Amino acid sequence: MPSNASNTYRPRIGLTTYYQEASWGVWKSDAAVLPGTYVQAVVAAGGTPILLPPVGTDPTVVELLDGLIISGGSDVGPENYGAEAHELTRAQPHRDLHDIALTRAALAAELPLFSICRGAQILNVALGGSLIQHIPDINPEAQYQPAPGVFGTVEFTTAPGSISQDLLGPRASAPCYHHQAMDNIADGLRVTAAAADGTVEALETTSGGWVLGVQFHPEQNPDDLRLFNGFVEAARNYRNERTESPVNVHQHV
């Protein structure tokens, strides 16, 4: 790699997607889809987006990536954490299997991992944590999902010494849209941001590395790319470290 490549290289960022019926032009069929805000945020932060639909899941794909985003979407199936389904839980098992497998592979590879909304819940569940399936059951005043298709706004505080605080400061706000939340936090994770009512807004690993799960939707605020900028920078550093590693040199000889 040329000496100036680290300044121009755009890290390859995997993003998990939906796979379901969609329409375009005169067509309606199953398709791999993802809200464009995720792709736009990655590009604006200097990354190259690579979409990873939940079909033909291959966890070794993380070897080709510099960072991974587990995107938002449907509820996480409660069978993944040993619970019975709430009447309002709407899960997509194929996405659960896909996202959990890629999350575990990314963690094993120490790949920078940015898990958003459902993705943060996947992170917790993949490591043995559990979820509250319907927030209004325990907090009727919650406004984390104000109306179908309408984002709310959550204010939260961050923990000292965390990625969350390094990038956002001690207090911040962000768009949100979810009716589930973290319950028991998995071993190996710590809460690094929370709303005033105690709702967990960010999780990070206790073992270091760039791993951040956020319950909110930073991709919905294109004027605030601090988390995406931090993530893509971590992905660039990861790429540089792998490129310079003697182990990787031998592996590619």
Catalytic residues: 117, 217, 219
SS3 content of the chain, % helix, strand, coil (to 5): 35, 30, 40
CA distance 82 to 216: 25
SS3 22: strand
Which bin fits 148, alpha (ψ -120 to 50), beta or left (φ > 0)? beta
Task: Report the candidate in 175, 190, 187, 172 with the shortest Cα–Cα distance to residue 222.
Answer: 175
Burial class (CB in 10 A: 0-12, 13-18, 19+), 180: buried
